[in-house]
Structure formats: C-alpha cells, structure tokens
A and B are shown apart, each in its own frame.
Chain A
Amino acid sequence: MSLKLHKLKDFFKNANGRVACSGLFMGLGQLMYKQIAKGIVYIIFQIAAILFFVFFGAKGIAGFITLGTVKGNAWYNIKGDNSVIMLLRGLLSLIVLIFYFIIYIANLKDVYKTQTRVAEGKAPISFLQEIKNLFDKNFYRTALFLPVVGVCVINILPIMFMILIAFTNYGGNIIPPELVDWVGLASFKKLVTLKQFAPTFFKILLWNMIWAIVSTALNYFGGLGIALLYNKKCVKGKAFWRVFPILAYAVPGFITLLAFKFMFGYGGPINQLITGAGGKAIGFLDLDAKWIARGLGFGVNAWLCIPTSMLLATGILGNMNEDLYEAAKIDGAGPFRQFVSLTLPFVLFATMPVLITQFIGNFNNFGIFYFLRDGLTIDGYFLASDTDLLINWLYNLSINNNFYSIGAAISIVIFLITSVLSLIVYTLSPSYKQEDAFK
C-alpha cells in the first residue's frame, strides 16, 4: 500500500505539462508526444464519454438519487417519472462512469510512461507495438474484455439493482406510476418483526437449513456409495451398469420432476395401485402431507443429483493409489476401516470445492418443490407452504405477488448465509491454499 502511495507521490511531483494536458482531456498529451493514432483513440473515448454524460448519464445519476420527483397522472396528462427504470438507468450510468475512470487512469499512466521513456532517452512505444502487446504480453486484457462486459451487464448490474431495491419501499401498492423512495433498513426490520412475515421467515429458514444439510449429505454419500459398489472387483460389465445413472443424469430435470409429480399425484399410478389393492389413496403432496412431501422431496432430489456425485466420485477413485489398500490389508484393516481412514479423507479432500457448490445448489434448490407442490399455500405460512425453501418464498413474494423490497431483503439474507459459510470452508480448504502447487 505504501509503495502505491509512494508511486502516486512521485507521479504528482514529476508529471510534466503534457501529462497534465492528458489529465484535462484524454489524448492531448499523447498528441503532443506525436503519438497521433493513440491520441485520437483516447480523444474519441473522451468525446463519447462527454456526450454520454450530457445526454444520458447526468440525468441517470440524478434520477438514481431522487428516484423520481414527478408523479404521473393520466387524468392531467402528466408523464411522471418511473422510479424503477430511473434506478436501473442510474446504475447503468454508474457502471459506464467506472469504465470511464479505468480508461482515464490508463490514459494518465500511458502518457506518464512515455514521459519517463523520453527522459531516459528512449523512443515512445509505437501504436503498432501497443496493438501487438494486446495479443501477447497483455493478451489477458483482450481475452477478458468481452466476458467482463457481459458479466457486468447480465450479472453484476441486476444484482446491484436488487441489493438497492432492498433499501427502497418498492412493492405492494408502491409500484410505478407511484414514486418509490429510499427507506433504509425498513424492509429487513419488517422481515424479522412484522407478524405477516416473521413467523414464516423463521420457519422456512429452519427447514431450509435442514434441507440443505440432509440432502447434500444424502446425495454425496449416496453417490460415493454407488461408485464404490460399482468399483468392486467382482462386478463385471462396469460400463454397462453405469448406463442407468447416466441415463437419469441426461434427462432434463424438469421432465423428471413433472413425471414424479404425475406419478405421486391422486390419479397417478402409485395411488391407482393402492386403490386397486383395496387401500385408500394417499395424498403424497397434499396440504397436510408435511413430512411425506418433504421425504418425497429428499428422494426425488437424490434421484436427480446422485448420478452427478457418482460420476464425480468414480473419477476421483480412479486417481487413488491402490498400494495404500494393499498396505492397509496387510496391517489387518477391514473394509469399513479402509473406507473411513483411506477412501473418505481422500475423496473429501478432492471434492471439497464441489461439495460447497452442491450445498449452495441445494440451499437454493428452486425446482424440486416448485414442481412437486406448485403454488400451494398453507395456513400459518404467508404465501408459502411447509416444503417451500427461502428461494421458493422469494419467488412467490416478488414474482407472483409484487413484494419486491421484501423479496430483495430475503435474497440478501440468503446471500449472507451461503457466502459466509462457503467463504469459511473455501479459505480453509487445502485446494485454495495450494492453488499453484501443481504447476
């Protein structure tokens, strides 16, 4: 840090007038050093930035702060402000502003470098050389440009937007043309105190934790178990037996989910068999089927996810050192002991990052109960059912019922839980510390 500060001090002490010119207007300094092409490129950027902020950006950022001042009224033919669109445009302008600053600083660095080179008696780097560098020394910049821009617009911008929404009163009756306002932490307060939301929130949170832990463990050990079973020496035709789990892996998830819903429905084949045998039809996914439905969820999720963990475990087991087992056998370790002391630590070490991903995936497993018990709401829950996870509740609240700011607050809670958990595990895991170990 101090090195950076030192460099900055040097920069302000040594920079000459030409650098200052570039500081005032990008590209001027480069022109003075007779770097015509590069100068023109920077000047074009500068002009584009000015035009953008005069016609769009300044208004965007102002709207970001006020969220609109004029309320629309069709009766008097007043075209009001749309607060939500203003927020979005404001964010877009801010992102452009950040990009502008990055280019601006690159411009200063560039002309300062030229100044030092000239002072040392060397020729400035030519434009052609600069372009060549983009395909060689600085190839990472060229390569990452498109992905970064895409992720900024498609991922970062929407996420920022929703984070900000959590601090507004957007939702319920307050949707455009009504004006939205900044309200600070009010949505979070509502979530944990208001009678409408709080009981549902805590009930769902508890179930969500149970679900994530149990289903991750179930899928992980299920997959490992099957992989070990198929790896046994006495099994002939391993490739053939693996076809069945891969089949399950290849069928698109929503198809299986809907198929299971049909299968366990009232008119479905399982109930037909039960009634055919003289029994009474069971509402597996009914209103009062709390634990039956939850259990079914675990089963269906296992059916969907075990093939992936099985394939993963098979791949990892293939890398294991066979000699260790021979040594263990000579020392008198039984199959169980071999599993606990050899197989498990090895597989756990290798799959730690995947395990985290699977945990988060299960924590936010939207599809399972969305398909199995679509749209069900239950007494004691506000717009949710007893199998719904936070993510399902979030969907019901914000997409189906306009509770946008509450929904956004829930997503931030989900984010905090999952990110804290996984950052701890991730930074502790050996695979993070030894990233460069096998280069």
Chain B
Amino acid sequence: MIKSIVKKRIKRIKSSYIVNSTFTYLGILIISFIFLFPVLWLVLASFSKSGSIYSFNGFFPSKYSLNSFKTLFTDTNMYNYPKWFLNTLFIAVVSSLLGTFLVILTAYTMSRFRFPSRKKLVKATLVLGMFPSFMSMIAVYLLMTQFDLIDKPIGLALIYSAGAPMGYLTQKGFFDTISGSIEDAARIDGATNFMVFIKIVLPMSKPIIVYTLLTQFAWPWSDFILPKLLLKDKDLYTVAVGLMTLGDDEFARFAAGSVFIAVPIIILYFSLAKFIIKGIASGAVKE
C-alpha cells in the first residue's frame, strides 16, 4: 500500500520533471534559433552566386559560389574593400592601444586615490556622459579642420582614444573589487605609487585590460557616424561606412564584406569570452 503511494509520487515528480525540462529545452532551442538564424542567413548569402537579393529563393541563395569574396578583393574600382579594411585595422589598433592605456590609468587613479577634486571629477564625467554623443559632431568636425585632420585616419584614432577615458566606470568597478592589501604591502616596502602601478596593478588586472583592448578594438569596426563625417575620400572609408554605400543589388557583396570582418571579431570574442563576461559584470556593483 505505502509502497505503491511512494511509487506513484516518484512517478509524478519524474513526469513533472520531464514536462518541465521539455519546455525548458524547447525555449532554449527557440531562443538559439532566433539568435543564430540572421547570422546564418548572412553567411549563406555571402556565398551566393548572383549578387542581388532579388534572385534569392526565399531566405537562401539558389546557387552557391565564392564569387562575392573574389570580387570583394579584386573589383576595387568602385568599392575598394581591401583599402577600407586596412584603414579600419589601423584605426582600431591605434585607438585600442592608446585608449586602453588612458582608460586603465584613469580608472585605477579614480579607484585608488582620494584627492581633493576627485568627487567633482566623478560628477563632471557623469554629467558629460549625459550629453547625446554626437551632438558635438559638428564641433568635432570644425576642430579637426583646425588641426588639419580631415580625411586622415589618425585623426579618427585620436578622437576614439582621447574620448575613451569618459567610459572609465566599468574599469573602475573592476579595480574597486580587487583588494588593495598587496599594494599597501609593497608601499610599506618602499615602492612608489608609480612602481606599484607598473609592477603590481598592471599584471593583476589582465582580465580588465583584455576586455578594454577588445571593446576599444571592436568599436571602430562598427562606428559609422564619425567616420562618415570625417572621412570624405571614398578610398579612406572605414569598412562600416563603405559597406553602407552598397545597395540592394550588391547584397551578396555586402554579406561577404560583413562576414569577412565579423568572423575575426567573433573568434576574438569567443576565445576571450571569460574576460568579456568579467568585464561586463564589472560595470555592476557586487556585494
């Protein structure tokens, strides 16, 4: 009697468990599909034989080939993709190195030092961050004409890196959570603050440095407003601006160009995923 009741109970728990996990997996499958599908569609489109989106059979090309990738790099009269790629790479590398240096320096200082004007600086950066980001575009443009930096990729790289310290809060969040006791010990041993920063803090903050390098590096690949304004010469475009000029009938070329830059970025993100998750979480406060 008792045995059968227990058996029934176990059965009920088991079946509810099965129902529960079935629905869970169904949900997960749907979500995964939603996130995967557009990306998959783009990848397949880049291998389409005819370039135009109108010759597709529903979502997918009717014939596949490597044509689009070939024209992307050989047919450079109208759309000089290799040039765009190198420009963006240059801007991304410079702004990622310089910007990361400035951000880490700012974040560490704001996290560790208590100096007279500190609170004022914190408030000022908060207020400045509230201004719509490209409200100042026109002024930046005029400023760049004054410094003779229009149509020069280095100007763009300088803007990206000089503006980077404004976003120091994430990095500060990271430094706030690592304990300062090792640094204090080093200071007692006579190390200067500069030495502490170089010898102790920098090696300890690898995750946040990698995160910053990556986000700074990825940004020029997707920004389009600033380069559109500052780079007038078609050969000096960044990839984002260049790809935007492609129309419906060049859809396969657009897809190929996108896949070609997205794949390296995706690989970078995946191989550094644990740093990214740490970085994103640094923006929030932990208990």
Distance, CA A422 to CA B17, complexed state (A): 44
B143 touches A (CB below 8 Å): yes
- CB pair B113–A139 under 8 Å, yes or no, is yes
Distance, CA A142 to CA B161, complexed state (A): 18
- CB pair A158–B139 under 8 Å, yes or no, is yes
- CB pair A350–B285 under 8 Å, yes or no, is yes
Q: Which of B3-50 contact A (CB under 8 A)?
A: 17, 20-21, 24-25, 27-28, 31-32, 34-36, 38-39, 41-42
A62 touches B (CB below 8 Å): no
B130 touches A (CB below 8 Å): yes
In the bound complex, residues from chain A placing their C-beta under 8 Å from that of B142 are: 84-85, 88, 161
B200 touches A (CB below 8 Å): no
Please give the distance in Å from B217's CB to the nearest CB on chain A. 12
Please give the distance in Å from B95's CB to the nearest CB on chain A. 12
- CB pair B277–A311 under 8 Å, yes or no, is yes
- CB pair B140–A154 under 8 Å, yes or no, is yes
Which residue of chain B is the closest to A418 with respect to CB atoms? B130
- CB pair A311–B135 under 8 Å, yes or no, is no
Which residue of chain A is the closest to B218 with respect to CB atoms? A252
**Total A-B Cβ pairs within 8 A:** 272
- CB pair B136–A158 under 8 Å, yes or no, is yes
A438 touches B (CB below 8 Å): yes
In the bound complex, residues from chain A placing their C-beta under 8 Å from that of B39 are: 247-248, 251
Distance, CA A60 to CA B180, complexed state (A): 47
B108 touches A (CB below 8 Å): yes
A360 touches B (CB below 8 Å): yes
From the candidates B54, B105, B127, B258, name the one contacting A255 in the complex (CB within 8 A): B258
Distance, CA A314 to CA B280, complexed state (A): 10
Please give the distance in Å from A240's CB to the nearest CB on chain B. 9
Which residue of chain B is the closest to A268 with respect to CB atoms? B53
In the bound complex, residues from chain B placing their C-beta under 8 Å from that of A221 are: none
A292 touches B (CB below 8 Å): no
In the bound complex, residues from chain B placing their C-beta under 8 Å from that of A438 are: 176-177, 286-287
Residue from B35, B229, B243 whose CB has the most chain A CB atoms within 10 Å: B35
Number of interface residues of B (CB under 8 A): 99
Q: Which of A161-182 contact B (CB under 8 A)?
A: 161-162, 165
- CB pair A229–B24 under 8 Å, yes or no, is yes
- CB pair A150–B161 under 8 Å, yes or no, is yes
B69 touches A (CB below 8 Å): no
**Interface secondary structure of A, over-half rule:** helix
From the candidates A154, A414, A426, name the one contacting B163 in the complex (CB within 8 A): A154
Please give the distance in Å from A297's CB to the nearest CB on chain B. 15
Please give the distance in Å from B54's CB to the nearest CB on chain A. 5
In the bound complex, residues from chain B placing their C-beta under 8 Å from that of A142 are: 194
A58 touches B (CB below 8 Å): no
Please give the distance in Å from B3's CB to the nearest CB on chain A. 27
A53 touches B (CB below 8 Å): no
- CB pair A132–B130 under 8 Å, yes or no, is no
| Given A244-B32, A415-B132; A251-B262 close (CB under 8 Å) | yes
From the candidates A139, A159, A165, A418, name the one contacting B197 in the complex (CB within 8 A): A139
From the candidates B59, B162, B224, B273, name the one contacting A269 in the complex (CB within 8 A): B59
Q: Determine, out of B71-79, B202-210, B264-272, the stretch whose residues face the partner at the interface.
A: B264-272
Please give the distance in Å from B126's CB to the nearest CB on chain A. 7
Which residue of chain A is the closest to B159 with respect to CB atoms? A154
In the bound complex, residues from chain A placing their C-beta under 8 Å from that of B51 are: none
Distance, CA A412 to CA B265, complexed state (A): 36
Distance, CA A423 to CA B139, complexed state (A): 26
In the bound complex, residues from chain B placing their C-beta under 8 Å from that of A99 are: none
From the candidates B165, B261, B268, name the one contacting A150 in the complex (CB within 8 A): B165
In the bound complex, residues from chain B placing their C-beta under 8 Å from that of A262 are: 53, 248, 251, 254
Which residue of chain A is the closest to B176 with respect to CB atoms? A438
Please give the distance in Å from B219's CB to the nearest CB on chain A. 9
Please give the distance in Å from B174's CB to the nearest CB on chain A. 12
A399 touches B (CB below 8 Å): yes
Q: What are 20 A-B pairs at a CB distance below 8 A?
A: A154-B162, A158-B143, A226-B31, A229-B28, A234-B21, A235-B25, A245-B35, A246-B273, A247-B39, A250-B266, A262-B248, A273-B59, A311-B280, A312-B280, A315-B281, A316-B284, A350-B284, A366-B225, A398-B138, A415-B131
